[in-house]
Structure 1
Amino acid sequence: MTPTSMPDDPSGPAPTDEEYGALRASAALWAGTSVLITNALGQVLVQHVDYLETCLLPGGAVDRGESPAHAASRELHEELGVTAVVDRGLGVDWVSRETMGAPPALRFPGELLHVFDGGTWDDARIGAIRLPESEIKAIDFVEPARLPDLMTPRDARRALSALRARVNGAGAVILENGVPIAPGVLDRAGTLSTPRPRDHAALHRGPVPAGLPVGTCSGWLFAPDGRVLLLLDPDTGLAALPGGPPTPADDGDVAATLVRTAAEGAVAHLTDPVYVGHLAEPDAPCARVRWAAALTGLGPAVEAGYRCRRALATPEQAVQLFDWGPQTADQLTAVHEARQRLGLPRAALQALTELALPVAWPSTGPHPTVQGSG
């Protein structure tokens, strides 16, 4: 036998198999699993259980000789009556003995808890859920920002970290007591910790009706690789598209409004604005215009006094940070049609890139040169 690691003191004799096994057993941790499931609105499935006052994600203990992925599938069947293959990890959390607050009689040694991606469930799959006679009292789909109110702090941290890892798309993250050891831009900004503003207005492709004033202009601003610029509020973590309201200086030119507000609010420089559409509720006093445009660069954020974090994301990643309701798919379709008119490629899934420093892009070509942080 060749041990994977040896005791710290190399001067003594090598341990026997029995001694080495006892040493490793003394450091053993529990193994657990949980599954993150969302609905089409980006809300997270939580379970109300009969043995806790707080909610949980679906999951439980890994049985002896069982793999974490198999345990996750088994728990989904036992708790929700759903048969599903679970094959994508979002995180592995080291849960310390101290943070658990377990009673001494439990002799809790710590735990490695695997978080898996259960995917986005449609209405038919949600309707197929069948709860057991005991243990699971009810389920809810809740806004991510409500998780800290419904779960223990450690469980909420873990769930939010896993959800951000899913949006980030760069693979599973390593957590310690629910906190990533290498936080990404969404973690650093605290994105999804604040309720997403509800905006379920439909996108109208036609021009703004005569007599309806424009309240704001915002833009899907594309880098040459097909990703778009997002702004993350430093206080709330809320995501926004660059833009702002018109002023008399724009002289009624809403394309000029986009160019001006992108420069003022994001230090972003762009060209070739393409009209995407406008949003307006039936009784709204104004229209909110959406544009698409090609980015040519970003200025020095710190010197300009800019506060928000700037990040590049695919359009599909971006919409997960908004609550646009059933209209999300229509808006994505319109955005990709505008991207094609700009002659830009569809972005490949990759981790969000924070743009903390100036960026200069060529006017053509699919590969940006980014001076920022991941």
Structure 2
Amino acid sequence: MTTPSAPDGSPGTSMTDEEYGLLRASAALWAGTSVLITDEYGQVLVQRVDYRPWRLLPGGAVDKGESPSRAAVRELREELGVAAAVDRGLAVDWVSVDGFGAPGVMRFPGEIVHVYDGGVWDGDRIAAIRLPGHEVEAVEFVEPADLPGLMTPGDARRALSALRARIGGAGPALLEDGVPIAPGVLDRVGALRTARDRDHRPFHPVPVPDGLPVRASSGWLFAPDGRVLILLDPDTGAARLPGGATEAADHGDPWAAPAREADGAASATAARPLYLGHLLAPDGPDGPYALVRHAAALTRLGPPSVDPVTGRAPVRVLATPEQVRELFDWGPHGDEQLAAVHRARALLGIPRAARQAVTELAGPVAY
């Protein structure tokens, strides 16, 4: 039996099955699998192993005749002592010989690594982890921005790309040496490579107490489909809600700061807001103060506004409230703020957004 053409598609080539098989075998790659797991606060599970100085995601080599997803399930059982279903892919990474940096004696031919979504683990699931007593010395949950300092460059790129794919909601990412071949907006700005904005102070869904000054205010600005406007720094990828420090010219109106920031940095306007609540900052230089949160419906987006100092415009995106939370580090109190956001959304008559791709708003929009 003959094969009409070689894999490179060259015309007029005829090969026997044996020749074709040998040619394909000469181009074979290793196959690997890994699993991305986060805790309830968006930190990533990594393993400390006894055979490498770098942290690793759970996972390993795919055995002969084994599918990558079955390998992922097996590795979770062997390395963490847990039985878990693995049925959602986040990324497939083609790892080049040069990208891996293996010693020559290993004769590394390249590798295809499948990254699966291990989900969000609560305290009970984390407590159920049982290490094997060899190879895996410990597990820890770390901030996404810390991964490049803990992992090899290629592993860190792959983990961050997979995490962005999970948050971004556009589906699995195809990677080459950890870099998406079709980057989404979170990839383009490098979201999560710098520390997420951190605020673990409790959220109070009640009015600001009399006499407590309001020093800053931010807004959850809803599009009609239930997603909200977020601003991403074009240089660091850091996310922020429209808002900022209050000013004397605001005359005590805490909505003035997010309205001013939305109109300036985001070229956005919104209807009159609903008050959500406040964060209490007990340790300000002049004593305790409040940081206020509002929700409002977007009414218009103009062209992107360029910062006169930096010459750069923030990247405007729409994301679901749940995706927004994953881009911030709000610790154990994030649920309270998210619940208040959804109460306000319902009062505004705006539907709850299904999880979907984070999308950039490059031009003007009228709602």
TM-score tier by shorter-chain length is over 0.9
Query: Whole-Å Cα distance in 2 between the matches of residues 172 and 189 of structure 1?
Result: 18
Residues 46 and 124 of structure 1, relative CA distance in 2, 3 Å threshold: same
Which position in structure 2 is the counterpart of 1:57?
57
Which position in structure 2 is the counterpart of 1:344?
350
Letter in 2 for 1:326: P
Match of 2:315 among 309, 318, 324: 309
Per-residue deviation, residues 68-109 of structure 1 (Å, max 9, x unmatched): 000000000001111111111000000001111112221111
Letter in 2 for 1:215: R
Q: Secondary structure at the match of 1:92?
A: strand
Shift of 1:216: 0.8
Shift of 1:112: 0.3
Letter in 1 for 2:301: L
Contact 2:231 2:266 in 1 (8 A): yes
Query: Whole-Å Cα distance in 1 between the matches of residues 4 and 73 of structure 2?
Result: 32
Query: Whole-Å Cα distance in 2 between the matches of residues 354 and 52 of structure 1?
Result: 40
Q: Secondary structure at the match of 2:338?
A: helix
Residues 26 and 343 of structure 1, relative CA distance in 2, 3 Å threshold: same
Q: Secondary structure at the match of 1:266?
A: coil
Query: Whole-Å Cα distance in 2 between the matches of residues 32 and 157 of structure 1?
Result: 16
Query: Whole-Å Cα distance in 2 between the matches of residues 3 and 279 of structure 1?
Result: 70
Shift of 1:304: 6.9
Q: Gapped runs of 5+ residues in structure 1?
A: 362-374
Percent identity of equivalent pairs: 65
The reply on whether 1:81 has 2:81 as its aligned counterpart is: yes
Contact 2:218 2:242 in 1 (8 A): yes
Q: How does 1:361-372 map to 2 (within 5 A)?
A: 361=367
Contact 2:44 2:144 in 1 (8 A): yes
Query: Whole-Å Cα distance in 1 between the matches of residues 68 and 54 of structure 2?
Result: 23
Aligned residues: 360
Q: Which moved more, 1:196-205 or 1:42-51?
A: 196-205
Contact 2:5 2:15 in 1 (8 A): no
Which position in structure 1 is the counterpart of 2:12?
11
Query: Whole-Å Cα distance in 1 between the matches of residues 134 and 253 of structure 2?
Result: 62
Which position in structure 1 is the counterpart of 2:226?
226
Contact 1:267 1:304 in 2 (8 A): no
Shift of 1:3: 7.8
Match of 1:324 among 311, 327, 330: 330
TM value normalised by structure 1: 0.93
* Structure 1: 4+ residue segments shifted above 4 A: 1-5, 302-306
Q: How does 1:117-266 map to 2 (within 5 A)?
A: 117-266=117-266
Residues 4 and 22 of structure 1, relative CA distance in 2, 3 Å threshold: same
Letter in 2 for 1:330: E
Query: Whole-Å Cα distance in 2 between the matches of residues 261 and 34 of structure 1?
Result: 41
Query: Whole-Å Cα distance in 2 between the matches of residues 263 and 39 of structure 1?
Result: 36
Q: Gapped runs of 5+ residues in structure 2?
A: none
